Amino acid sequence: MFNATRRDFLRTLGTGAAAVSLPQLMSSCAPSDAPRPNILFIMTDDHASQAISAYGSRINKTPHIDRLASEGVRFENCFATNAICAPSRASILTGTYSHVNGVIDNNVVFDGEQLTFPKLLQEAGYETALFGKWHLKSSPTGFNHWDILPGQGHYYNPDFIRNGEKRRVEGYVTDLTTDLCLDWLDNRNADQPFCVMLHHKAPHRNWMPALRHLHLYDDEDIPVPETFDDDYTTRSDAARDQDMSIEETLMPANDLKADAGTDQDAKYWKWNYDRMTPEQKKAWDAAYTSRNTAARRAGHKGADLKHWKYQRYIKDYLRCIAAVDENIGRVLDYLDENGLSENTVVVYTSDQGFFLGEHGWFDKRFMYEESLRMPMIVRYPKEISAGRVEKGLAANVDFAPTFLDYAGINAPQRMQGRSLRPLLKGKTSYDWRKAVYYHYFEYPGPHGVKRHYGLRTDRYKLIRFYHDIDAWEMYDLREDPNELNNLAAVPTYSVLFKKLKRELKRLRKVHGDDGMKRFLPGKPKKIEHLAVGASIALTYSYSPKYPGSGPGGLVDGIKAPENVGSQADLSLWQGFEGVELEAVVDLGGHRPVKNVTVGFLEQTGSWIFMPQTVEVSVSEDGKQWSKAEVWRNQEKMQSGPAVRRSVRLQLDGREVRFIKVKAQSQGVCPQWHPGAGKVCWLFADEIVVE
């Protein structure tokens, strides 16, 4: 019954079509007598396929990942459906697109009540475990055991949260995560099949190598990609308006481990560097101090400076991958030594791709190939032929149905992906997808990549950028693999352009994505009140990085939208880092005031919290003050999506000239936050006087 078709299963139950309304029943069948395979799911963060030698890397060697590819199937065309950490992970867990599981960007808290493949495996008798990066803000569900990094985690001496209990562990994060996984495998219940998710932090920014790899590539000059100096000639403004360039965006201290740039850059680097023990710092300083001295003496400028930044970035990135590859070798050896290799499905992937200097960029997000493509290698000796390359179109929403298929569990109807098992056997069905659908939502947001959606076929790609831009891009990947020639407006391609637009419209409908409007932030609102245009004085200066609308931005009559989406447009907000908001508004004359309302942003994923208290005082001369009302924050600090909250304080018609608004910051991030103990932010919007 377990291997029967869905129709046969319903007939066996004797319930016919009525059973269609019971998806939970369909997803939790009793296991058959045949031994079910174990599942080892290894995922890294930001590991580009062009930095894997099995994928033809020109810049590094990955012998242990290559071994996996030689013993299994390497997917040539596996793609993320939203190329950013948390959304990709949510899609992998649920088998659904971002607009369905709700995790459209890195700020949304994952709803752990959703159906996920670990839950279904657990129900079917699998012992499930998770180690390393989680990054979904809520606590993991569906696991017998979990030991995760808070937020992004640290490279050195990281904190781990084991089934809810936080502790610090000395060592290097990639080694430690593997240690935890192998220890669990040693002590698991051998009578149950297992599914273990080994999810590494590396090689995520800020690329801190293990001590043993600090001198790897010292005597090499890593070749730059062909498109390193791309000028985006035929592209839309989306390519020009990004903030992810190697030349301009990389932080001198935190990213490049050289001299600090901004104060924020210095704080980020101190936050990471101070995790190290004195012995670790000694080894680190021995490697980087002489390099930085030589760089200062060289006085790099222009193209030479850009090349130096690339070398520093790419070498640290590749050094982090070296540790990942070594630890994958450790895990594969463990499977061999314990007789587990033959009956274990091993999957290696990354949550999305990454730019390694292509187009002059680092990071991901764009639908261009380097970011869109996920490495994916699967080994299962019992069923998969060794050394094969699969070119069928796969997506991260396919992972969950694939794992369930190997466990003999029917995927629930909610899952939008399809099992890759036929492709792994070398059998592509006639109705396999002809295009992969993509949608990126995180704008306004980090790195300034515009919102866009599109499709990718085996040859063509169509992208539409939207929100504060309306632009199309189309590429022939066979003739133009580097995506340099946008064909969307080329007359000779007009028929193809229209055809792809129709297909994109169809895919949006098939997948139920109306996210263009549903997830857009609201628009700022022009309002009138007594303080518009009034003079305002701040006791503590706002951050120059987040000046809002300038010195008078808090009384300019422009109110940030109540619906901020998941990402607030921070250009409308004044940001205060580690200091209070204390603003004195001079109304220019005595006015009767009913109430004062102040808008605050809460976006915990970006370290922005509501104040502890908000106090309003009034004065006739600006010297003698009378406290009018105090608002106290009674809510427990917790993770959540971006939201605008208004605090209203009553003055009951008192005649005043001067109004003082004082908001006390939370000071530091709470213990559950990845920035625990570090200074947090207070963001304020319009002070409305009615």
Query: What is the tens place of the pLDDT at every residue in 345-392?
Result: 999 999 999 999 999 999 999 999 999 999 999 999 999 999 999 999
Q: Whole-angstrom Cα distance, residue 254 to residue 261?
A: 9
Q: Where do we find the tokens 């009793």?
A: 30
The pair of structure tokens assigned to 240 is 């020009």
- Predicted TM-score (pTM) of the model is 0.88
Rounded mean pLDDT, 156-164: 96
Question: Which pLDDT band holds residue 626 (cuts at 50, 70, 90)?
Answer: very high
What pLDDT score does 562 carry? 86
Instruction: Inform me whether the pLDDT recorded for 474 exceeds 90.
Output: yes
State the average pLDDT for the chain.
92
Type and span of the H or E element at 178: helix 173-187
Q: Whole-angstrom Cα distance, residue 634 to residue 625?
A: 26
214 conformational bin, left if phi > 0, alpha if psi -120 to 50, beta if neither: alpha
Rounded mean pLDDT, 461-480: 97
The 10s digit of each residue's pLDDT in 299-353 is: 999 999 999 999 999 999 999 999 999 999 999 999 999 999 999 999 999 999 9
| Whether 72 contacts 380, CB under 8 Å | yes
Q: Whole-angstrom Cα distance, residue 202 to residue 218?
A: 20
The 10s digit of each residue's pLDDT in 491-518 is: 999 999 999 999 999 999 999 998 778 8
Q: Whole-angstrom Cα distance, residue 10 to residue 197?
A: 33
Q: Whole-angstrom Cα distance, residue 55 to residue 67?
A: 12
Instruction: Inform me whether the pLDDT recorded for 30 exceeds 90.
Output: no
Domains of the chain from N-terminus onward:
1-30 (no CATH), 39-209+313-434 (3.40.720.10), 216-226+239-309 (no CATH), 446-518 (3.30.1120.10), 525-689 (2.60.120.1190)
Measure Cα distances from 528 to 557, 559, 573 in Å.
6, 10, 18
Rounded mean pLDDT, 258-287: 93
Strand, coil or helix: what is 421?
A: helix
Instruction: Inform me whether the pLDDT recorded for 666 exceeds 80.
Output: yes
Mention every residue, 6+ apart, whose C-beta is less than 8 A from residue 523: 561
The 10s digit of each residue's pLDDT in 126-154 is: 999 999 999 999 999 999 999 999 989 99
Rounded mean pLDDT, 586-613: 93
The pair of structure tokens assigned to 261 is 């740039």
Mention every residue, 6+ apart, whose C-beta is less than 8 A from residue 183: none
What is the percent of the chain where pLDDT is above 90? Answer: 84
Q: Whole-angstrom Cα distance, residue 80 to residue 98?
A: 11
What pLDDT score does 672 carry? 77
Q: Whole-angstrom Cα distance, residue 200 to residue 208?
A: 13
Rounded mean pLDDT, 39-64: 98
Question: Which pLDDT band holds residue 33 (cuts at 50, 70, 90)?
Answer: low
Q: Where do we find the tokens 């109306």?
A: 514
What pLDDT score does 347 carry? 98
Question: Which pLDDT band holds residue 639 (cuts at 50, 70, 90)?
Answer: confident
Instruction: Inform me whether the pLDDT recorded for 15 exceeds 60.
Output: no
The 10s digit of each residue's pLDDT in 439-450 is: 999 998 889 999
